[in-house]
């Protein structure tokens, strides 16, 4: 199962979960595979193709319950049954309430032994974003921020390059690589003109899709991000570039953030990195839409006159949100703090 989890971890897919599968017979691995790019074929099919006839009588280790329903491809349970495997060991059941348990049921009906729960904690962590989409009906949201030791994301005049070090910025690129989309507000777009891609030496893997939340101020006619065909969230009207995602406005006439996240999930994005400024960060935080924070504290002090990381509505400490600090360490000269909302 650890080998299957390792195979799954090498993939970054959406909206299909990345799954790993290993087939063992007589103490040896006869086939293995992970969900292919694009989500098809599934891991079980990839492993069965490699094992061939050797799969008969073997034991299958798979990180997620094989699907037992017919969608755009035949059920994996059907393929496992036809291959004549004797046992299937599953790390975790599918969190999709419409299919959870159906794969196990079909395998057992065919007389195949089924065991569930081996390395379940690791599998659940790996498939956190996939599971979160069913429990919250929105993508998993990570808020990234680079700030001074006294909590400013920019100086009073708006300058912010560079608060953090090259090492911290490289860490952000690695963070982007593990998420489906990167979202900024129109203000950050106009100020920084970011690309929102992964730029690491030798990197050729997954690139997150850029998302721009358009406010009341028109977008610039030109932006570097335009060539990446970003998804532009708007309440309506013409856009100079990008593919529109039209959502209802909130009470301030801005795109409703809850509707935005629901729309991104409908587009197939299971995880989003929020890289906005204080306004977007604060709005997400106030609505309870941030699941994890990854903040880099640069070795600088703004002197109390900088822009805050959150332009929120907190007016008394009694309303402060408790968080759990999951990890804190040095990245170059800076401090990396990772936390989750309680």
CA nearest to 44, candidates 97, 98, 96, 8: 8
The pLDDT tens digits for 82-137 are 999 999 999 999 999 988 999 999 999 999 999 999 999 999 999 999 999 999 99
Q: Do domains 2-130 and 138-341 have the same CATH topology?
A: no
The pLDDT tens digits for 14-63 are 777 899 999 999 999 999 999 987 777 899 999 999 999 999 999 999 99
* pTM to 2 decimal places: 0.90
Within its chain, how far is the Cα of 307 from the centroid? 28
Please report which confidence band the pLDDT of residue 337 belongs to, taking 50, 70 and 90 as the band edges: very high
> What are the catalytic residues?
44
Q: What percent of the chain clears pLDDT 90, i.e. is strictly above it?
A: 73
Give the residue extent of every domain in the chain.
2-130, 138-341
* Alpha-carbon distance values, 166 to 89, 163, 300, 333 (Å): 44, 10, 14, 9
Q: For domain 2-130, give the CATH number.
A: 3.40.140.10
Q: Which pLDDT score, from 0 to 100, does residue 101 have?
A: 93
Q: Which of 118-127, 155-164, 175-184, 214-223 has the lowest mean pLDDT?
A: 155-164
The pLDDT tens digits for 135-152 are 999 999 999 999 999 888
Cα–Cα distance measured from residue 88 to residue 264, given in angstroms and rounded to the nearest whole number: 34
CA nearest to 232, candidates 250, 254, 210: 210
Residues 287-307, mean pLDDT to the nearest whole number: 91
Q: What percent of the chain clears pLDDT 70, i.e. is strictly above it?
A: 97
Please report which confidence band the pLDDT of residue 317 belongs to, taking 50, 70 and 90 as the band edges: confident
Q: Among the CATH numbers 3.40.50.410, 3.40.430.10, 3.40.50.720, 1.10.10.10, which is that of 138-341?
A: 3.40.430.10
């Amino acid at each position: 199962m650890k080998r299957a989890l390792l195979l799954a971890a090498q993939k970054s897919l959406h909206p299909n979960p990345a799954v790993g599968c290993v087939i063992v017979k007589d103490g040896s691995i006869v086939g293995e595979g992970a969900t292919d790019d694009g989500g098809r074929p599934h891991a079980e099919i990839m492993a069965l193709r490699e094992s061939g006839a050797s799969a008969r009588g073997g034991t299958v280790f798979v990180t997620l319950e094989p699907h037992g329903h017919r969608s755009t491809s035949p059920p994996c349970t059907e393929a496992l049954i036809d291959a004549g495997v004797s046992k299937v060991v599953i790390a975790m059941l599918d969190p999709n309430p419409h299919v959870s348990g159906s794969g196990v049921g079909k395998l057992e009906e065919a007389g195949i032994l089924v065991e569930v729960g081996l390395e379940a904690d690791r599998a659940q962590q790996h498939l956190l974003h996939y599971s979160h989409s069913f429990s919250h009906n929105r993508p998993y949201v990570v808020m990234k921020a680079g700030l001074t030791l006294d909590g400013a994301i920019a100086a009073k005049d708006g300058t912010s390059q560079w608060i953090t070090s090259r090492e911290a910025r490289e860490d952000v690129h690695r963070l982007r690589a593990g998420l489906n989309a990167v979202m900024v507000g129109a203000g950050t777009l106009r100020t920084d003109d970011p690309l929102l891609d992964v730029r690491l030496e030798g990197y050729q893997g997954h690139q997150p899709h850029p998302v721009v939340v358009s406010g009341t101020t028109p977008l610039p006619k030109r932006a570097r991000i335009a060539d990446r065909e970003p998804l532009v969230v708007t309440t309506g009207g013409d856009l100079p570039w990008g593919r529109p995602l039209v959502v209802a406005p909130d009470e301030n006439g801005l795109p409703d953030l809850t509707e935005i996240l629901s729309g991104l999930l409908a587009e197939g994005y299971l995880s989003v990195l929020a890289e906005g400024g204080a306004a977007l960060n604060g709005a997400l935080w106030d609505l309870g839409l941030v699941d994890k924070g990854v903040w880099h504290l640069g070795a600088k002090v703004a002197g109390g006159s900088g822009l805050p990381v959150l332009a929120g509505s907190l007016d008394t400490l009694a309303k402060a949100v408790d968080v759990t600090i999951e990890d804190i360490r040095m990245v170059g000269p800076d401090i990396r703090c990772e936390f989750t909302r309680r």
